[in-house]
Amino acid sequence: MIGLFSLFAEDAYSSYLHLSVTDTVHRNESIGDTIARAFFGPDFDLLTDFDFNNQAQVDHYWDMAKKLDYGDAFSTDLSAVQKAGGKVIFWNGVSAPCCLDQDLLKYYTTAAESVGGLPAFRKFASFYKVPAIGHCGGGTDPVDHADRLFERLMAWVEQGKEPGAIVAHRGSGASSVFADPLKGTVAGVAVPAPVGDARDFLLCPYPTIAKFKDNGGDVNDAANWECK
Protein backbone atom coordinates (compact mmCIF):
# COMPACT_ATOMS: atom_id res chain seq x y z
CA MET A 1 0.00 0.00 0.00
CA ILE A 2 1.23 3.46 -0.86
CA GLY A 3 0.47 5.98 1.85
CA LEU A 4 0.99 9.65 2.46
CA PHE A 5 2.60 10.84 5.66
CA SER A 6 3.26 14.12 7.36
CA LEU A 7 4.83 15.22 10.62
CA PHE A 8 2.84 18.33 11.43
CA ALA A 9 4.79 20.29 14.04
CA GLU A 10 4.27 23.48 15.99
CA ASP A 11 5.60 25.96 13.41
CA ALA A 12 3.69 24.40 10.56
CA TYR A 13 0.23 25.14 11.88
CA SER A 14 0.63 28.69 13.17
CA SER A 15 -0.84 30.24 10.05
CA TYR A 16 -4.09 28.35 10.66
CA LEU A 17 -4.71 30.67 13.57
CA HIS A 18 -6.39 34.00 13.19
CA LEU A 19 -4.06 36.99 13.36
CA SER A 20 -3.29 37.41 17.05
CA VAL A 21 -1.08 39.57 19.22
CA THR A 22 1.08 36.58 20.20
CA ASP A 23 1.55 35.45 16.62
CA THR A 24 2.29 38.98 15.44
CA VAL A 25 4.89 39.62 18.15
CA HIS A 26 6.56 36.31 17.38
CA ARG A 27 6.67 37.06 13.67
CA ASN A 28 8.19 40.49 14.25
CA GLU A 29 10.85 39.31 16.69
CA SER A 30 11.97 36.28 14.70
CA ILE A 31 11.23 36.92 11.04
CA GLY A 32 9.76 40.42 11.09
CA ASP A 33 12.58 41.87 9.02
CA THR A 34 11.45 39.73 6.11
CA ILE A 35 7.72 39.17 6.58
CA ALA A 36 6.63 42.59 7.85
CA ARG A 37 8.62 44.42 5.20
CA ALA A 38 7.55 42.03 2.46
CA PHE A 39 3.91 42.58 3.43
CA PHE A 40 3.94 46.31 4.21
CA GLY A 41 7.11 47.86 2.83
CA PRO A 42 10.82 48.20 3.71
CA ASP A 43 10.32 50.64 6.61
CA PHE A 44 7.38 48.90 8.31
CA ASP A 45 7.78 47.87 11.99
CA LEU A 46 5.13 45.30 12.87
CA LEU A 47 5.29 45.95 16.63
CA THR A 48 4.78 49.69 16.40
CA ASP A 49 3.05 50.23 13.06
CA PHE A 50 0.44 47.47 12.93
CA ASP A 51 -3.00 48.45 14.23
CA PHE A 52 -5.46 45.64 14.95
CA ASN A 53 -8.30 48.18 14.77
CA ASN A 54 -7.32 49.12 11.23
CA GLN A 55 -9.33 46.73 9.06
CA ALA A 56 -7.48 47.85 5.94
CA GLN A 57 -4.18 46.68 7.46
CA VAL A 58 -5.69 43.36 8.55
CA ASP A 59 -7.15 42.81 5.07
CA HIS A 60 -3.82 43.72 3.48
CA TYR A 61 -2.04 41.20 5.71
CA TRP A 62 -4.27 38.36 4.50
CA ASP A 63 -4.13 39.53 0.89
CA MET A 64 -0.32 39.45 0.96
CA ALA A 65 -0.33 36.10 2.77
CA LYS A 66 -2.37 34.61 -0.06
CA LYS A 67 -0.26 36.32 -2.73
CA LEU A 68 3.06 35.14 -1.27
CA ASP A 69 1.67 31.81 -0.04
CA TYR A 70 3.04 32.40 3.46
CA GLY A 71 1.03 32.99 6.62
CA ASP A 72 -2.27 32.08 4.99
CA ALA A 73 -4.75 29.86 6.81
CA PHE A 74 -4.53 26.09 6.46
CA SER A 75 -7.76 24.30 5.65
CA THR A 76 -9.24 22.16 8.40
CA ASP A 77 -10.86 19.88 5.82
CA LEU A 78 -8.61 16.81 5.79
CA SER A 79 -11.13 14.50 4.15
CA ALA A 80 -8.92 14.28 1.05
CA VAL A 81 -6.05 12.99 3.21
CA GLN A 82 -8.37 10.34 4.60
CA LYS A 83 -9.51 9.26 1.12
CA ALA A 84 -5.90 9.09 -0.10
CA GLY A 85 -4.94 6.73 2.72
CA GLY A 86 -2.68 9.33 4.29
CA LYS A 87 -1.36 9.30 7.84
CA VAL A 88 -0.59 12.40 9.91
CA ILE A 89 1.07 12.94 13.28
CA PHE A 90 0.60 16.35 14.89
CA TRP A 91 2.79 17.38 17.82
CA ASN A 92 3.38 20.48 19.89
CA GLY A 93 5.56 21.41 22.85
CA VAL A 94 3.50 22.37 25.88
CA SER A 95 6.06 25.00 26.94
CA ALA A 96 6.46 26.74 23.58
CA PRO A 97 6.30 30.51 24.23
CA CYS A 98 4.68 31.35 20.90
CA CYS A 99 2.89 28.36 19.38
CA LEU A 100 0.47 27.12 22.01
CA ASP A 101 -0.44 23.45 22.24
CA GLN A 102 -4.07 24.44 22.86
CA ASP A 103 -4.14 26.18 19.49
CA LEU A 104 -2.95 23.08 17.65
CA LEU A 105 -5.44 21.05 19.67
CA LYS A 106 -8.14 23.41 18.41
CA TYR A 107 -7.01 22.78 14.84
CA TYR A 108 -6.93 19.01 15.44
CA THR A 109 -10.43 18.81 16.92
CA THR A 110 -11.83 21.15 14.26
CA ALA A 111 -10.24 19.08 11.48
CA ALA A 112 -11.79 15.96 13.01
CA GLU A 113 -15.22 17.36 12.18
CA SER A 114 -14.37 17.21 8.47
CA VAL A 115 -14.34 13.39 8.58
CA GLY A 116 -17.26 12.83 10.94
CA GLY A 117 -15.65 13.17 14.35
CA LEU A 118 -12.67 12.22 16.48
CA PRO A 119 -13.00 8.39 16.31
CA ALA A 120 -12.78 8.43 12.51
CA PHE A 121 -10.06 11.08 12.54
CA ARG A 122 -7.84 9.14 14.95
CA LYS A 123 -7.71 6.27 12.47
CA PHE A 124 -5.35 8.33 10.31
CA ALA A 125 -4.31 11.36 12.41
CA SER A 126 -2.79 11.43 15.90
CA PHE A 127 -1.89 14.36 18.12
CA TYR A 128 0.84 14.38 20.78
CA LYS A 129 1.82 16.98 23.36
CA VAL A 130 5.54 16.97 24.17
CA PRO A 131 6.31 18.09 27.74
CA ALA A 132 8.81 20.77 28.72
CA ILE A 133 9.90 21.69 25.20
CA GLY A 134 10.39 25.33 24.26
CA HIS A 135 10.04 26.70 20.74
CA CYS A 136 11.48 23.88 18.57
CA GLY A 137 13.74 22.86 21.45
CA GLY A 138 15.47 24.05 24.57
CA GLY A 139 14.14 23.30 28.03
CA THR A 140 13.99 20.10 30.04
CA ASP A 141 12.34 18.21 27.19
CA PRO A 142 13.27 14.95 25.45
CA VAL A 143 15.94 15.31 22.78
CA ASP A 144 14.69 12.64 20.38
CA HIS A 145 10.91 13.16 20.32
CA ALA A 146 10.83 14.10 16.62
CA ASP A 147 12.79 10.96 15.72
CA ARG A 148 10.55 8.68 17.77
CA LEU A 149 7.41 10.28 16.33
CA PHE A 150 8.73 9.97 12.79
CA GLU A 151 9.64 6.31 13.31
CA ARG A 152 6.08 5.59 14.42
CA LEU A 153 4.72 7.54 11.48
CA MET A 154 6.78 5.43 9.07
CA ALA A 155 5.58 2.22 10.73
CA TRP A 156 1.99 3.46 10.49
CA VAL A 157 2.31 4.11 6.76
CA GLU A 158 4.47 1.15 5.79
CA GLN A 159 3.25 -1.54 8.20
CA GLY A 160 -0.19 -0.34 9.29
CA LYS A 161 0.85 -0.11 12.96
CA GLU A 162 -0.97 2.66 14.81
CA PRO A 163 1.51 4.85 16.73
CA GLY A 164 -0.04 4.57 20.20
CA ALA A 165 2.13 5.44 23.21
CA ILE A 166 5.66 6.59 22.34
CA VAL A 167 8.71 6.72 24.60
CA ALA A 168 11.13 9.61 24.07
CA HIS A 169 14.33 10.26 25.99
CA ARG A 170 16.65 12.86 27.39
CA GLY A 171 20.28 12.06 28.12
CA SER A 172 22.20 8.86 27.44
CA GLY A 173 19.17 6.94 26.17
CA ALA A 174 18.40 9.44 23.41
CA SER A 175 19.09 8.67 19.77
CA SER A 176 18.48 11.61 17.47
CA VAL A 177 18.68 11.89 13.70
CA PHE A 178 17.17 15.33 13.15
CA ALA A 179 18.94 17.17 15.97
CA ASP A 180 22.54 17.25 17.11
CA PRO A 181 22.50 17.81 20.89
CA LEU A 182 26.28 18.27 20.97
CA LYS A 183 26.26 21.09 18.43
CA GLY A 184 22.84 22.40 19.43
CA THR A 185 21.50 22.46 15.89
CA VAL A 186 18.38 21.14 14.17
CA ALA A 187 18.74 21.14 10.37
CA GLY A 188 21.49 23.71 10.78
CA VAL A 189 19.43 25.98 13.07
CA ALA A 190 20.81 26.72 16.53
CA VAL A 191 18.50 25.25 19.18
CA PRO A 192 19.60 24.90 22.82
CA ALA A 193 20.03 21.30 23.92
CA PRO A 194 17.71 20.04 26.67
CA VAL A 195 19.00 20.22 30.23
CA GLY A 196 18.49 17.85 33.14
CA ASP A 197 19.33 14.30 34.15
CA ALA A 198 18.64 11.36 31.86
CA ARG A 199 15.01 10.22 31.85
CA ASP A 200 12.17 8.81 29.75
CA PHE A 201 9.05 10.65 28.59
CA LEU A 202 5.85 8.80 27.75
CA LEU A 203 4.06 10.60 24.90
CA CYS A 204 0.37 9.76 24.63
CA PRO A 205 -2.01 10.21 21.69
CA TYR A 206 -4.86 12.64 22.34
CA PRO A 207 -7.20 12.42 24.19
CA THR A 208 -5.16 10.21 26.55
CA ILE A 209 -2.51 11.68 28.85
CA ALA A 210 0.49 10.19 30.68
CA LYS A 211 -0.28 9.24 34.29
CA PHE A 212 2.14 7.89 36.87
CA LYS A 213 1.19 4.43 38.12
CA ASP A 214 2.08 5.40 41.71
CA ASN A 215 3.67 2.01 42.22
CA GLY A 216 6.76 3.24 44.00
CA GLY A 217 8.80 3.04 40.81
CA ASP A 218 11.22 5.55 39.33
CA VAL A 219 9.41 8.54 37.78
CA ASN A 220 12.20 8.75 35.19
CA ASP A 221 11.34 5.31 33.79
CA ALA A 222 8.56 5.24 31.18
CA ALA A 223 7.59 1.74 32.36
CA ASN A 224 6.06 3.37 35.44
CA TRP A 225 3.76 5.58 33.39
CA GLU A 226 0.68 4.76 31.33
CA CYS A 227 -1.59 6.52 28.85
CA LYS A 228 -5.10 6.92 30.24
Residues of the chain with pLDDT under 50: 1-6, 11-31, 187
Q: What local confidence, expressed as pLDDT, does residue 125 receive?
A: 94
Phi and psi torsions of 87, nearest 5°: -130, 140
Q: What local confidence, expressed as pLDDT, does residue 191 receive?
A: 63
Going from N- to C-terminal start, the domains of the chain cover 5-10+85-227, 19-68
Sign of torsion, CA 38 9 99 117?
positive
Distance CA 165, CA 226 (A): 8
In this prediction the pTM is 0.74
Long-range Cβ pairs for the range 55-58 (8 Å, 24+): 58/19
Q: What local confidence, expressed as pLDDT, does residue 29 receive?
A: 37
Q: What local confidence, expressed as pLDDT, does residue 75 receive?
A: 83
